[in-house]
């Protein structure tokens, strides 16, 4: 069975040596000294290694069970969930006013990685609750907040997001679920929603569904969509649970992975709903959840890659097969360990350099969210909004590929379920799909975010890269990092230029390159993070760090990323600059 | 449930317009006119669409069942297997002398794709039999051939390959299975083999296991391995079945995919074995099977991509979601079909251009096998031997990626097992692993094949590309294809040059780039095939073909490959030329 150990040291490096969190002026950051964050990460790591991770394979093999309208989670989930709640982990970055610990998103994200890596299916129960609570926090009335948030922050009650219907996912304007006003401020919600993660289960007293629906007579399409709070049990005025609402599970889905999470078909039959936010502005309210959710999904890609990588490393060191061509490394044994072979190294370095770069990227994103929310920094808000589809799309695509590479290290054993490597790929696969399939992320990036506010945020990104290159361009020790970053960044600019010059004439010239642009942008972001990490490690070495080996490893891994991963930028640019002609050249009948 | 239709038209195009099989002088090729091959493909297509493909999901969901030492295949497999046998498909390219139809490998391969695409798990039962029969054909005594081949060609008896043991897969020198000579020409074989596809099942009267084992006292390591025929039931002199041999199923594996194939742990307990070929030369005999098997596995990658693609196209045309940004294409409907969106097109074109290019590459490989075997053409033998690891490694890596892309077109529905798209990826995944994991293919390519016969075969490949470019370089209609092919081919040559110049000093400089080299080489091969296909389509159009739309589609798809896929060559070269320093730079402890 696979094991999991929290990468505390690497998280600490990113938080303190790279992002220098405790030196930032963002409210709440001054508390985040090394000892404090270390204590949190150690504690969360222990819980995840010992309690949450061992249930990962159990959840996969047992799955969820629907019986008489009730869903039963896999053995052990309920007890583990109690421990998570008792530790206060579910409200880590939620306001103290509602029982949370009020920590910044950057800590919530660092801890979130551990939970996601240990057991994605299990962690989704709290993840969805966090998303739903965030939407109530942002758009709810004071009464709604008081009614729902304390129990959601503690995860006594869990939450869900209900968007998709059988005939529509991305195009929510086609939605059929209706919400009829009852004249008393409540609505009767009727319709069917599918793919509802944590839709029903046995780990919470109540489930607070957030449901998108149309109020009859409202505007057509997406502009007529509103968001409703539909609790499984109506909450009485005194806070006690009242009658069962008209919401029930139609079925649980048989999925490729995340078997431990109950993905439900939910039927709403005149269920009592309460408007959240403004009539017909449901999409705006939902997007509050979705941006946060998209960062969380990007984290899942990274987290599954980390978990798979850790086990691939163990296997590569343990499994004896073949000899090092440059001379036996284990001459007294029957063969050398796999890790001596260059192609196994290549696979492990691909994984390691992606994971550590992605981790820094993600935490930088979380830091900008804190700047946006806590310091009302609109520039940070704009930049993280630009980067969100990249965090989601790039980290989940690459994260998935890395789980496949980790599985490959095991050879035939990687294909046998008992070893657990197949599960990492099957679980990671969903992250490329939900919260907006990655093609939709690319569309959001190129069609919406790139030109937002007159292109201000992408210009800010380029300025940031240029500034960094300029600042460190004369430092010879940085030459291995600055030159490749400049090249890749130039490729990204050329791609943006191509879109500007050709997308006006024909938007398909931009959209046909959107996916490659998302990946090109992702590589530049990770290139930037690696350059920043290299800088941090060079500084630490110059300052006489007591852990030189760690920083030397960082530098080698940074060089690997620059030499072996960043060259993808030229390929993506070539694809983008070939335009839409070959992409759109065929009639639909020709396929 | 997914559907499958044989791509007869495209196979006919490759066989006749590109490879021009009936004009070749290879023995047996003169019979292969258009009508003849069309009749075969139509008939095989019908059987696969109507009988074999509908069992694909059944096999996945039901799996195989072990009860009291017997393995039961999924419902319907046995009847379908009878129909396959009755149609004579199992011996299509086997010698007439043993009941086969004596057709060339190029036909066996074209038909093989249909079976693999329709149901990979099911088709493996005959695939393994074909491999084992080929080894007996090549290395067996006349008596062995007479005893086993007629029933194996007809698949009344099936076959297996037994290589892997729990502690060794790639490094077979570590093998522990023993074969004790009994003095009467027979051996007693004892040991455990794992991952034995079709190891035990209920569809054949006898199972002929080919087992690698060591004769005590023989040379150490891989040089002391011999190959044995170990039948499940001993065959009496009169051909009737005698006593049950000492071979039994220990377990059936729980795998990520190919659930319909019984992958067994096989225990040999003093089982009677008969030496196949020469003592201690078992690896050589096994390689006869393995080269054929590797082409067959490359075909599986392609075939799963084709099956997944066909369903992605159906879904993309059917599912209404969003609007074409350049103007509604389905103005009377609630939304446009997915296929109007540029990023969906990109995904479908990636798939289409890979599949059609890969199909041509594979059939070209089969044509060279025929030239090698039927015309004793040693140049063809050398070239196909060089290309075999690329056919296996590149086609299965890319084929897998394409199933993932096809699954992605379905959005959330791609993750739900009922739609069948997850199965394509789970089934395709094994092809990257078995018959030599793809990293081992890359090692074989760079460490062995590239320098074989003084590098003669790789030079022949470059001459072939150069010759083609020279021949068609002045034709303006070919400019879109020749220029990118030249560039990519130059990248491949530079990579080879890098290996020559640096691999001498340190073999890791070559091996660290082996995987990228395999992919770079694969892209050049597909680039060559696309240039040849473009030539064929231009010729057909010039000759006033009645199916201009087909050939125009080919030209657009060829342009897509050149513009959007071949640019990967530069990235692979950059990675290769970065050498081993960053790949091998870390101590094992640093991971």
N residues, chain B: 591
* Chain A residues 183-212 within an 8 A CB cutoff of chain B: 194-195
From the centroid of its chain, how far is CA B123?
Answer: 12
Residue A27's pLDDT is what? 97
Residue B570 contacts A, CB cutoff 8 Å: yes
C-alpha atoms less than 13 angstroms from C-alpha of B513 in its C-beta half-sphere: 30
Same fold flag, B8-139 and B158-284: no
CB contacts of B253 in chain A (<8 Å) are: 416
How many contacts, defined by CB atoms under 8 Å, are there between A and B?
Answer: 259
Residue A443 contacts B, CB cutoff 8 Å: yes
**Average of per-residue pLDDT across A429-455:** 96
Give the pair of three-digit tokens for residue A464.
Answer: 């940031």
N residues, chain A: 591
Dihedral angle sign, alpha carbons of residues B435, B437, B443, B446: positive
- Decide if A433 and B411 are in contact by the 8 Å CB cutoff: yes
From the centroid of its chain, how far is CA A247?
Answer: 29
Query: C-alpha angle B69/B71/B72, rounded to 5°?
Result: 140
- Decide if B321 and A170 are in contact by the 8 Å CB cutoff: yes
- Decide if B412 and A195 are in contact by the 8 Å CB cutoff: yes
Task: Give CA–CA dist A567/A47, Å, rounded.
Answer: 39
Residue B322, sorted as left (phi over 0), alpha (psi -120 to 50) or beta, turns out to be: left
Task: Give CA–CA dist B346/A513, Å, rounded.
Answer: 9
Q: Is the pLDDT of residue A573 over 90?
A: yes
Q: Quickly tell me which residue has 């390159």 as its tokens.
A: A513
State the smallest CA–CA distance between residue A548 and chain B in angstroms. 12
Judging by beta carbons within 10 Å of its beta carbon (0-12, 13-18, 19+), is residue A542 exposed, middle or buried? exposed
Give the pair of three-digit tokens for residue A76.
Answer: 């052990």
C-alpha distances out from residue A37 to A42, A355, A375, Å? 8, 20, 21
Task: Give CA–CA dist B309/B307, Å, rounded.
Answer: 5
Q: Which residue of B has its CA nearest to A334?
A: B174
Residue A376, sorted as left (phi over 0), alpha (psi -120 to 50) or beta, turns out to be: left
**Do B13 and B558 touch, CB atoms closer than 8 A?**
no
| SS3 per residue for A227-250 | EEEEECEEECCCCCEEEECCEEEE
Q: Which residue out of B411, B515, B537 would a mutagenesis test of the A interface target, given it has the greatest number of A Cβ atoms within 10 Å?
A: B411
Residue A568 contacts B, CB cutoff 8 Å: yes
Please confirm, yes or no, whether A62 is among the known catalytic residues: no
Residue B4's pLDDT band, with cuts at 50, 70 and 90, is: very high
Residue A351 contacts B, CB cutoff 8 Å: no
Q: Which residue of B has its CA nearest to A556?
A: B582
By three-state DSSP, how is residue B188 classified? strand
Task: Give CA–CA dist A402/A313, Å, rounded.
Answer: 13
- Decide if B506 and A326 are in contact by the 8 Å CB cutoff: yes
- Decide if B326 and A506 are in contact by the 8 Å CB cutoff: yes
Q: Which residue out of A161, A221, A348, A412 would a mutagenesis test of the B interface target, given it has the greatest number of B Cβ atoms within 10 Å?
A: A412
CATH 3.40.190.10 fits B158-284, yes or no: no
Q: Is the pLDDT of residue A344 over 90?
A: yes
Q: Which residue out of A571, A577, A580 would a mutagenesis test of the B interface target, given it has the greatest number of B Cβ atoms within 10 Å?
A: A571
Residue B588 contacts A, CB cutoff 8 Å: yes
**Under CATH, domain B8-139 is a member of which superfamily?**
Acyl-CoA dehydrogenase/oxidase, N-terminal domain (1.10.540.10)
- Decide if B568 and A571 are in contact by the 8 Å CB cutoff: yes
Task: Give CA–CA dist A194/B396, Å, rounded.
Answer: 34
Residue A327 contacts B, CB cutoff 8 Å: no
CB contacts of B164 in chain A (<8 Å) are: 412
Residue B314 contacts A, CB cutoff 8 Å: no
Domain chopping of chain A, boundaries: 8-139, 159-281, 456-585
Q: Quickly tell me which residue has 């009727």 as its tokens.
A: A190
Beta bridge partners of A187: A181, A273
Q: Which of B508, B568, B582 is facing A563, going by the closest CB pair?
A: B582
Element (H, E) at B195: strand B186-197
CB contacts of A512 in chain B (<8 Å) are: 342-343, 345-346
Residue A287's pLDDT is what? 80
CB contacts of B419 in chain A (<8 Å) are: none
Residue A321 contacts B, CB cutoff 8 Å: yes
Residue B291's pLDDT band, with cuts at 50, 70 and 90, is: confident
**Average of per-residue pLDDT across B50-78:** 97
Q: Is the pLDDT of residue B292 over 90?
A: no
DSSP A414-434: GGBGGGSHHHHHHHHHGGGTS
C-alpha distances out from residue B6 to B9, B46, B121, B125, B314, Å? 8, 8, 18, 20, 15
**Average of per-residue pLDDT across B199-206:** 98
Q: What are the φ and ψ backbone dihedral angles of B208, each rounded to 5 degrees? A: -100, 105
**Do B390 and B412 touch, CB atoms closer than 8 A?**
no
Q: Is the pLDDT of residue A89 over 90?
A: yes
Task: Give CA–CA dist A352/A357, Å, rounded.
Answer: 8
Element (H, E) at B399: helix B378-409
Per residue in B315-335, pLDDT (tens digit) is: 999 999 999 999 999 999 999
Identify the CATH assignment for A159-281 out of 3.40.50.720, 2.40.110.20, 3.30.70.100, 3.90.226.10: 2.40.110.20
Per residue in B372-389, pLDDT (tens digit) is: 999 999 999 999 999 999
Beta bridge partners of A416: B255
* Chain A residues 51-110 within an 8 A CB cutoff of chain B: none
Task: Give CA–CA dist A328/B207, Å, rounded.
Answer: 40
State the smallest CA–CA distance between residue A404 and chain B in angstroms. 9
Task: Give CA–CA dist A336/A184, Å, rounded.
Answer: 75
DSSP A376-405: --HHHHHHHHHHHHHHHHHHHHHHHHHHHH
**Do A236 and A98 touch, CB atoms closer than 8 A?**
no
**Do B276 and B229 touch, CB atoms closer than 8 A?**
yes
Residue B169's pLDDT is what? 87
**Average of per-residue pLDDT across A220-248:** 97
Closest by alpha carbon to B425, among B315, B314, B310, B305? B305
The answer, yes or no, to whether ipTM is higher than 0.90 is yes
Give the contacts of B149 (CB within 8 A, at least 6 positions apart): B94, B98, B99, B133, B136, B137, B140
Q: Which residue would you say has higher pLDDT here, B234 or A172?
A: B234
End-to-end CA distance of chain B: 44
Task: Give CA–CA dist A38/A363, Å, rounded.
Answer: 15
Closest by alpha carbon to A257, among A403, A52, A409, A120? A120
Q: Which residue of A has its CA nearest to B166?
A: A413
Residue A285's pLDDT is what? 84
Per residue in A257-314, pLDDT (tens digit) is: 999 999 999 999 999 999 999 999 999 888 877 777 899 999 999 999 999 999 999 9
CB contacts of A350 in chain B (<8 Å) are: none
By three-state DSSP, how is residue B140 classified? coil
- Decide if B559 and A574 are in contact by the 8 Å CB cutoff: no
DSSP classification of residue A581: T
Task: Give CA–CA dist B513/A142, Å, rounded.
Answer: 61
Which residue is catalytic, options B113, B165, B371, B435?
A: B435
Q: Which of B341, B553, B571 is facing A590, going by the closest CB pair?
A: B553
Q: Is the pLDDT of residue B93 over 90?
A: yes
Closest by alpha carbon to B526, among B366, B362, B320? B362
From the centroid of its chain, how far is CA A492?
Answer: 23
* Chain A residues 535-554 within an 8 A CB cutoff of chain B: 549, 553
Residue A126's pLDDT band, with cuts at 50, 70 and 90, is: very high
DSSP A144-168: HHHHHHHHHHTTSEEEEEE--BTTB
- Decide if B508 and A325 are in contact by the 8 Å CB cutoff: yes
C-alpha distances out from residue A560 to A525, B376, B525, Å? 15, 46, 28
Q: Which of A339, A352, A583 is facing B345, going by the closest CB pair?
A: A583
- Decide if A437 and B408 are in contact by the 8 Å CB cutoff: yes
**Average of per-residue pLDDT across B87-110:** 97
Task: Give CA–CA dist A275/A143, Å, rounded.
Answer: 12
From the centroid of its chain, how far is CA A480?
Answer: 30
Residue A250 contacts B, CB cutoff 8 Å: no
Q: Is the pLDDT of residue B288 over 80?
A: no
Residue A293's pLDDT is what? 86
% of chain A with per-residue pLDDT over 70? 100
What mean pLDDT value characterizes chain B?
97
Q: Which of A439, A511, A582 is facing B325, going by the closest CB pair?
A: A511
Residue B558's pLDDT band, with cuts at 50, 70 and 90, is: very high
Task: Give CA–CA dist A484/A471, Å, rounded.
Answer: 15
**Do A70 and A200 touch, CB atoms closer than 8 A?**
yes
Q: Which of A415, A439, A583 is facing B433, going by the closest CB pair?
A: A415
From the centroid of its chain, how far is CA B279?
Answer: 29
């Amino acid at each position: 069975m696979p094991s999991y150990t929290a990468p505390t040291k690497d998280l600490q490096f990113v938080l303190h040596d790279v992002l220098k969190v405790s030196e930032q002026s963002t409210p709440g950051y001054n508390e985040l000294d090394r000892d404090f964050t270390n204590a949190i990460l150690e504690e969360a790591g222990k819980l995840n290694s010992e309690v949450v991770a061992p249930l990962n394979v159990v959840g996969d093999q047992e799955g969820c069970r629907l019986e008489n309208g009730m869903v039963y989670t896999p053995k052990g989930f309920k007890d583990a969930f109690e421990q998570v709640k008792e530790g206060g982990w579910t409200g880590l970055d939620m306001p103290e006013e509602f029982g949370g610990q009020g920590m910044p998103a950057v800590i919530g994200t660092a801890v979130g990685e551990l939970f996601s890596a240990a057991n994605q299916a299990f962690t989704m129960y709290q993840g969805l609750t966090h998303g739903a609570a965030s939407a109530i926090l942002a758009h709810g009335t004071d009464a709604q907040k008081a009614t729902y948030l304390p129990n959601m922050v503690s995860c006594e009650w869990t939450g869900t997001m209900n968007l998709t219907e059988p005939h529509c996912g991305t195009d929510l304007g086609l939605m059929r679920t209706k919400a009829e006003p009852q004249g008393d401020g409540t609505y009767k919600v009727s319709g069917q929603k599918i793919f509802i993660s944590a839709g029903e289960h046995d780990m919470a007293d109540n489930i607070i569904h957030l449901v998108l629906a149309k109020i009859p007579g409202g505007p057509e399409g997406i502009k007529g969509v509103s968001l409703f709070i539909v609790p499984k049990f109506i909450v009485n005025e005194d806070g006690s649970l009242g009658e069962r609402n008209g919401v029930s599970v139609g079925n649980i889905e048989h999925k490729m992975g995340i078997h431990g999470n109950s993905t439900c078909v939910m039927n709403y039959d005149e269920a009592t709903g309460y408007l959240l936010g403004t009539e017909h502005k449901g999409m705006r309210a939902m997007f509050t959840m979705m941006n946060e959710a998209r960062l969380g999904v990007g984290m899942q890609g990274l987290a599954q890659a980390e978990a798979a990588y850790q086990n691939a490393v163990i296997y590569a060191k343990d499994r004896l097969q073949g000899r090092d061509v440059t001379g036996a490394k284990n001459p007294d044994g029957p063969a050398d360990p796999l890790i001596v072979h260059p192609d196994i190294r290549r696979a492990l370095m691909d994984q390691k350099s992606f994971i550590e770069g992605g981790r820094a990227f993600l935490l930088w994103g979380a830091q900008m969210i804190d700047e946006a929310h806590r310091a009302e920094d609109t520039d940070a808000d704009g930049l993280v909004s630009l980067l969100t589809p990249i965090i989601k799309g790039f980290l989940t695509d690459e994260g998935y590929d890395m789980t496949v590479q980790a599985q490959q290290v095991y050879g035939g054993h990687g294909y046998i379920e008992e070893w657990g490597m197949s599960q990492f790929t099957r679980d990671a696969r969903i992250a490329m799909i939900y919260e907006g399939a990655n093609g939709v992320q690319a569309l959001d990036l190129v069609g919406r975010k790139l030109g937002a506010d007159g292109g201000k945020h992408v210009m800010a990104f380029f300025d940031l890269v240029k500034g960094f290159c300029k600042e460190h361009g004369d430092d010879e020790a940085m030459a291995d990092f600055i030159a490749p970053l400049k090249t890749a960044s130039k490729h990204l600019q050329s791609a943006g230029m191509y879109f500007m010059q050709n997308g006006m004439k024909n938007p398909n010239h931009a959209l046909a390159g959107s996916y490659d642009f998302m990946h090109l942008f992702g590589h530049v972001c990770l290139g930037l993070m690696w350059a920043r990490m290299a800088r941090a490690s060079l500084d630490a070495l110059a300052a006489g760090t007591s852990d030189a080996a760690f920083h030397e490893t960082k530098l080698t891994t940074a060089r690997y990323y620059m030499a072996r991963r960043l060259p993808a930028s030229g390929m993506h640019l070539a694809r983008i600059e070939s335009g839409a002609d070959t992409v759109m050249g065929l009639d639909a009948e020709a396929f």
